[in-house]
Structure 1
């Protein structure tokens, strides 16, 4: 094929004898060559995987490229249990790839999401030939974005992803019976197509009925609910001391795994490992200049970053640094972020920004949001939360079925609901940058023994359109009716609220079907099907000052 020789379905035996298969791309010129390895459950010839980093372009650059089907997927043998075998299989595959004819024994890995976690797991396994990884849009702690968030189940992601992986499994299971295969695939498609209207709504959420009907394994939250140790198979957090390779972390402000990407970078930096971070105004599946209802400009697109380079070129240039020492090392700062609002890329020395200052804004009576703390006599706000009528997901850092697009969306119809409290600041008299991790400190009470608290940060424009920036949830239990303090992690943003805009905070008790509904009974999610209505109270007085804490970046000194 001109510049490349391609061997299809090359077998690799794992330590337990299971055979995994890969397509191997080699330069036609004399080697040896460093190897770029991708391990994917989506099929080694999936067009999206091939677009991430064009294997033929990498071959022309002087690399071998190996794209492997993970265990139990596409051309590989074994049983499909998501995320379970990637540490051992990744370790064994790196060692195998390094020994392929034409290899110089140095291996780098790349890819997003599941493919990103497969890199981390291989790196934790410590194969000596692995010299660099480029994980993108992937998590750190599985209970913070993958399986759940704040104690709630990440249902929107788990249900849609798990069902969508079913066709390959069903094709294997029913390959000897075309009639049965047609019946099962038709039923699976019906489950997927009904997600928004019916499937997401089924109970119990912790033992999701659609998975059993479709005969597919779940992403992993049900295994982890039954056995918390099961999450260790895909947990990056806590394993950084075993990762002795440079890492290029890529994330997006509207990605379901945003905070995991940031946490991975921070932890590797703290461990003294070479680590680079790039965060664009992107969602999980789209690294384009437009997300949700907002366009961020041509320079935001992955193909024209800052009108100077592309995400693909940044990846391969960075890999050159560690795998091709004959190439010049790229120069620049280790962190590059896209600051929304002003819509500009900016390089930084570190994340989080040392110059950001945690700044509270207090929830106030009559829907105000102020830097002034409340007085002693401010009355609390109340609403009724009915899990049969939850607040429906509208935008955000999410990955769900197509009816629920990620990114910023006009929140005004959400804010009209009686079960959503809204607190809004005065118009800003100057631009205000908020870059870093956002949290809400909430004092609240519920008539239910268990309930959820959801907080959302919005930017209200001069046109009064309220658009979401970030949100979070916490699932709590305690004596009914007693006030308690709760911390809600809203993850991170890099955003400038422009002059004349207003800062807004929403407080409610659901964001469904992104997160499963708390049925207000205290029963475990694996069994709960009965619902009860809860009366919710949010306090904001001198003794109980509910507030949002924003990492405010002071304006630059014009004299500098």
Structure 2
């Protein structure tokens, strides 16, 4: 395997004549070898690609590795339209790669985020040579983490991603016009650099001005609203039963697509397919052991995996068992679940997700900022605060992929919790460890004097030094709300796995914004595509016997 051969920019013609190009890594010898393929829009030698797959290491393990620029990106021809062509191009590329000299005719795909979705799209197109996929940190429903969350726009990722992806497009557009290129790139970089300093605040958020200034495609929120049918071009949700392949799925508790990874896994297992799941304490682009303010221990590092070895080697071992020379798809009941349990900072092997032994347990919002297992038995006064969209609660940690000034992961919440527009409810110190593993939701009985508003809930772990750090959060956008009338709202905080240690306290924050992670609700009821003027909203959260606001935690009983 020492003499790896590399061919650069190998052409593959798609069904409409467009030529896409790939780098091909061949092991030494004559083969035949199984094909391991990546299709991505970020450049074939980009650090993002290398973080997901080391092509030399894979070739040394006996894989013919194909790394392709997607349509309209870098060395590949055609127009750049996010998502549009990935299903058909995925099909054509798999068939082309399977016929390359040295291929054994079996193809597997790997990679994460956008190029996790290119795997799902290729799998949905059903090329006969595709035998296995290993999508990492990618979504299931684009309206649950990619374009929107709970009805609010994922502005945090939409703005920087679209601007960054515009650079290659501008270079193509101005390839023979140096002055135009300099001017275009300069303006793009200025907008990208200026996001955290005020650029995120441009309105309307649903038709973001920077995209129009540079005439670049955006992540897809705006187009999906104009063309609802087009939104299916990257939606996996609802189609899992069409994918008759084994999957190896990897996600992180602080990844922007954490729930999508879990949803993809449960849907594939529900469809009777073999599926493996690994969930670390990681953020989207950070699979190391330090995430945010917390060191989860070296066992959490993806290069160690609690003495299991490198995550990439675990994946390559799996591929050798599915597309190798004697590879056979594993039986549906051979899938594994490997969870990192935060708090105790340990990997734990399971056979299912969600855990059937977890018990949904209500922790009730109470007067004087208390959070108790006991529901209110008598009338308690509603909590009130004022939400000003021109002074929103700043994003501080969480499952983020936004401008680099905003760090993802668990961060100190003291500045957030000191604000007048953030309600805080806290338990007494725990007498013993309490494990929460599964999907978290908040049930709020709340009212606003606006016709539309947002409700944000955040679960936090308060340590023995009274430092509060975020664990999970979520948002729900309320439209056409009867002003001043209390209604029940459910906020999906997605899933987590954490042990709240004895002596720690559980805390819940309730507010109406988390900006710029999610766009601000201007409280006017106008569509996000046109709204440009905000109003202050007066908010109420109720907790009495008839309106028991609470957070529901999936508590795992001690073994």
User: Normalising by structure 1, what TM-score?
Assistant: 0.98
Give the Cα–Cα distance (whole angstroms) in 2 for the partners of residues 275 and 416 of structure 1.
44
Match of 2:441 among 439, 452, 455: 439
Give the Cα–Cα distance (whole angstroms) in 2 for the partners of residues 264 and 329 of structure 1.
18
Q: Is contact 2:453–2:477 with CA below 8 Å preserved after alignment?
A: yes
Give the Cα–Cα distance (whole angstroms) in 2 for the partners of residues 332 and 119 of structure 1.
22
Matched, 1:120 2:120: yes
Match of 2:400 among 398, 401, 423: 398
Report the counterpart of residue 543 of structure 2 in structure 1: 540
**What pairs with 1:147-186 in structure 2 (closer than 5 Å)?**
147-186=147-186
Q: Is contact 2:388–2:535 with CA below 8 Å preserved after alignment?
A: yes
Matched, 1:86 2:115: no
Q: Is contact 2:338–2:348 with CA below 8 Å preserved after alignment?
A: yes
**What pairs with 1:485-504 in structure 2 (closer than 5 Å)?**
485-504=488-507
Tell me the CA shift for residue 2 of structure 1. 4.8
Matched, 1:202 2:205: no
Secondary structure at 1:540 match in 2? strand
Give the Cα–Cα distance (whole angstroms) in 1 for the partners of residues 287 and 108 of structure 2.
23
Report the counterpart of residue 286 of structure 1 in structure 2: 286
Specify every segment of 5 or more residues in structure 1 that has no aligned partner in the other structure, as ranges: none
Q: Is contact 2:2–2:60 with CA below 8 Å preserved after alignment?
A: no
Secondary structure at 1:352 match in 2? coil
Specify every segment of 5 or more residues in structure 2 that has no aligned partner in the other structure, as ranges: none
Matched, 1:342 2:344: yes
**What pairs with 1:156-305 in structure 2 (closer than 5 Å)?**
156-305=156-305
Give the Cα–Cα distance (whole angstroms) in 1 for the partners of residues 84 and 46 of structure 2.
22
Give the Cα–Cα distance (whole angstroms) in 1 for the partners of residues 5 and 310 of structure 2.
26
Tell me the CA shift for residue 43 of structure 1. 0.7
Matched, 1:450 2:452: yes
Give the Cα–Cα distance (whole angstroms) in 2 for the partners of residues 215 and 97 of structure 1.
34
Give the Cα–Cα distance (whole angstroms) in 2 for the partners of residues 422 and 502 of structure 1.
12
Alignment length (residue pairs): 556
Q: Is contact 1:333–1:347 with CA below 8 Å preserved after alignment?
A: no
Give the Cα–Cα distance (whole angstroms) in 1 for the partners of residues 247 and 329 of structure 2.
15
Matched, 1:509 2:509: no
Q: Which moved more, 1:308-317 or 1:386-395?
A: 308-317
Matched, 1:3 2:10: no
Match of 2:383 among 381, 384, 388: 381
Over the aligned positions, Cα root-mean-square deviation in angstroms equals 1.4
Give the Cα–Cα distance (whole angstroms) in 2 for the partners of residues 273 and 3 of structure 1.
37
Cα gap change, 1:545 to 1:206, in 2 (>3 Å): same
Report the counterpart of residue 554 of structure 2 in structure 1: 551
Secondary structure at 2:146 match in 1? coil
Give the Cα–Cα distance (whole angstroms) in 2 for the partners of residues 295 and 542 of structure 1.
41
Give the Cα–Cα distance (whole angstroms) in 2 for the partners of residues 425 and 367 of structure 1.
9
Tell me the CA shift for residue 543 of structure 1. 0.2
Tell me the CA shift for residue 179 of structure 1. 1.5
Give the Cα–Cα distance (whole angstroms) in 2 for the partners of residues 130 and 327 of structure 1.
13
Tell me the CA shift for residue 327 of structure 1. 7.1
Tell me the CA shift for residue 226 of structure 1. 1.7
Give the Cα–Cα distance (whole angstroms) in 2 for the partners of residues 261 and 396 of structure 1.
17
Tell me the CA shift for residue 325 of structure 1. 5.1
Give the Cα–Cα distance (whole angstroms) in 2 for the partners of residues 332 and 228 of structure 1.
38
Q: Is contact 1:37–1:108 with CA below 8 Å preserved after alignment?
A: yes
Report the counterpart of residue 71 of structure 1 in structure 2: 71
Q: Is contact 1:207–1:527 with CA below 8 Å preserved after alignment?
A: yes
Give the Cα–Cα distance (whole angstroms) in 2 for the partners of residues 36 and 483 of structure 1.
55
Report the counterpart of residue 134 of structure 1 in structure 2: 134
Tell me the CA shift for residue 375 of structure 1. 2.2
**What pairs with 1:47-66 in structure 2 (closer than 5 Å)?**
47-66=47-66
Secondary structure at 2:445 match in 1? strand
Q: Is contact 1:364–1:370 with CA below 8 Å preserved after alignment?
A: yes
Q: Which moved more, 1:305-314 or 1:34-43?
A: 305-314
Tell me the CA shift for residue 333 of structure 1. 6.2
Matched, 1:522 2:525: yes
Q: Is contact 1:3–1:59 with CA below 8 Å preserved after alignment?
A: no
Give the Cα–Cα distance (whole angstroms) in 2 for the partners of residues 282 and 43 of structure 1.
24
Secondary structure at 1:374 match in 2? coil
